[in-house]
Amino acid sequence: MAELHPVNGSNNDAAIMPFISSCNVCCTYHSGSAELSANTIRLAIQNNVSVGAHPSYNDKANFGRITPKVSLETLIEELRFQIGAISKMASSLGTKLNHVKPHGALYNDLAKDEKLSLAFIKVILDINPKLKIYGLANSIFEKLCRDHDMNFVSEVFADRQYASASKLVSRKKPNAVLSDTCDVLKQVDNLLSGKIIDINGNTHKVKAESICLHSDTPNAVALAQKIYEHIKSKDIAILPPQ
């Protein structure tokens, strides 16, 4: 099973939709607007793509990719607002929210922070415990979600380098993002065969249930098509997790 997820906020959304099975819709806190989110949901419906909420830290200046100083109490209420808004918007447009995937620095912080992970889980339990949660494979977040019987989907990345089995290379460092077609397809092959090869050449086991591609990665549309065709050529169905 494989999926590609564009990050809402680029002009690539419409072009990428035919090559994915689910998408993450920004909740306006790191990028975009209510109008853009609604348009992305409409595109997803037209292309039979599952819709997910993509909540983040409240930080448009840094595209939600830097951890801000914010209290846990404030963050919890901001998460409720973001996820609730996208859920209601999806319902009003004729579909339902399939999943929640944290964005950027929040995603990476959840992968290593037990207190933050437990708070996030509580928010999902309060909103809708049936929602799927997409998060970094092999992370603390995955373990805690599974301990709480959450519907967790272990995610891996086609376009990001790994520092270890459960940590991505910081975007501040060179070569953190993969954009060359050969490099991306090689990574996809490794992930499909159940392994992560990190930046130091170490191999780690992984169970990949979703493959993410960011729509702001250079050549994202062409990469999405290449990945789609590559996976299909292996007779692997590209479907949302059930």
In a domain, 238, yes or no: no
Residues 6 or more apart whose Cβ sits within 8 Å of residue 235: none
Is this model's pTM higher than 0.85 or not? Answer: yes
pLDDT of residue 7: 54
In a domain, 136, yes or no: yes
Task: Give the domain range for residue 157.
Answer: 13-233
Alpha carbons 144 and 103: distance in angstroms, whole number: 18
User: Terminus-to-terminus CA distance in the chain, angstroms?
Assistant: 10
| Integer CA distances (angstroms), 191 to 35, 54, 60, 157, in order | 35, 23, 31, 8
In a domain, 74, yes or no: yes
| Integer CA distances (angstroms), 189 to 4, 157, 182, 218, 233, in order | 14, 11, 11, 20, 12
Which has the closest alpha carbon to 241: 5, 7, 21? 21
Domain tally, the chain = 1
Q: What is the 3-state secondary structure (H, E, C) of the chain?
A: CCCCCCEECECCHHHHHHHCCEEEEECCCCCCCHHHHHHHHHHHHHCCCEEEEECCCCCHHHCCCCCCCCCHHHHHHHHHHHHHHHHHHHHHHCCCEEEECCCHHHHHHHCCCHHHHHHHHHHHHHHCCCCEEEEECCCHHHHHHHHCCCEEEEEEECCECEEECCEECCCCCCCCECCCHHHHHHHHHHHHCCEEECCCCCEEECCCCEEECCCCCCCHHHHHHHHHHHHHHCCCCCCCCC
CB atoms within 10 A of CB 77: 11
CATH number, domain containing residue 92? 3.20.20.370
In a domain, 37, yes or no: yes
Alpha carbons 109 and 117: distance in angstroms, whole number: 8
In a domain, 211, yes or no: yes
Q: How far is CA 103 from the centre of its chain?
A: 7
In a domain, 21, yes or no: yes
- Digit-coded pLDDT (tens) for 141-200: 999 999 999 999 999 999 999 999 999 999 999 999 999 999 999 999 999 999 999 999
What pLDDT tens digit does each residue of the chain (242 aa) get?
A: 444 555 555 567 889 999 999 999 999 999 989 999 999 999 999 999 999 999 999 999 999 999 999 999 999 999 999 999 999 999 999 999 999 999 999 999 999 999 999 999 999 999 999 999 999 999 999 999 999 999 999 999 999 999 999 999 999 999 999 999 999 999 999 999 999 999 999 999 999 999 999 988 999 999 999 999 999 999 998 988 77
In a domain, 197, yes or no: yes
In a domain, 205, yes or no: yes
